[in-house]
Amino acid sequence: MDLNQKVIFSDTVFGQEIDGEMVLLDMNSENYFGLDEVGTAIWQAMQEKKLLRDVHADLLEQYEVIEIVSFLFVLLIIPFKKQ
């Protein structure tokens, strides 16, 4: 995976923060997903930073985790498209 890739969100996925956690709705599948505090931080970083490298750096600053763990969090966020 190239960390210089941009994160592009699907036009059919909508997110709303409720009590510090994100709720995502995929209009295509009509499924919703709840993100905990960490997932919410990742989602917000992806919206603000755009590049996976910057998201990864943001997570390393926010959380005391080893680098590989934060990288795995970036890879597991669904749904997003890579450009």
Domain ranges (residues) in the chain: 7-82
Q: What is the pLDDT of residue 71?
A: 62
Q: Is 76 exposed, middle or buried (0-12, 13-18, 19+ CB in 10 A)?
A: exposed
Q: What is the pLDDT of residue 56?
A: 81
Could you tell me which residue, 80 or 67, shows the higher pLDDT? 67
Percent of the chain at pLDDT exceeding 90: 20
On the question of pLDDT at 69 being above 80, the answer is no
Q: Give CA–CA dist 81/83, Å, rounded.
A: 7
